[in-house]
Amino acid sequence: MTTPTTRPYEPWMRLALAEAEEAAAHGDVPIGAVILDPSGTVIGRGHNTRESEGDPTGHAEIVAIRAAARTLQARTPTTPKDWRLTDCTLVVTLEPCTMCAGAIVLSRLTRVVFGAWDPKAGAAGSLWDALRDPRLNHRPEVVPGVLEPACHAALDRFFAPHREK
């Protein structure tokens, strides 16, 4: 369901969905992510690469965080290296897991926007709420449910043949 809160993020969620399709084309679970700088410019993209690269940390969020950090480094090559993604927004098609939630907190992302809830492994409010845990020193804003039906549909298309077996 589109709301005034989720509507502004729809164009970027469509980019994340395109990344998700790229993952599916390579045999990975279709999850995609983009990271926006404060002006709304995409500075990092990623999709799941666990199967294609044989990397258990190849989640879309981690791939996008690494890409965004490289982009920031390239923008300011003469200043001290800063890995912080302060004032940046992560847009991802599925609620982040605990590993990704930890990376999100540690990278200092200001906002996390996601499409589909993940009741089996989500760490942004469904199974756990690691992103908004008051014991942490950094807690990003969380905006759930952006283009949720489209995000669910990408996952359903991918897993349908597996469910039939």
Residue numbers belonging to the annotated binding site for Zn(2+): 59, 97, 100
- For 108, list phi and psi in degrees, rounded to 5: 70, 30
- Cα–Cα distance between 53 and 141 in angstroms, integer? 31
The residues, ordered by sequence, that sit 6+ positions from 151 with a Cβ below 8 Å of its Cβ are 13, 17, 20, 93, 94, 114, 115, 116
Catalytic-residue membership of 61: yes
**Set 19, 22, 61, 95: catalytic member:** 61
Active-site positions read 61
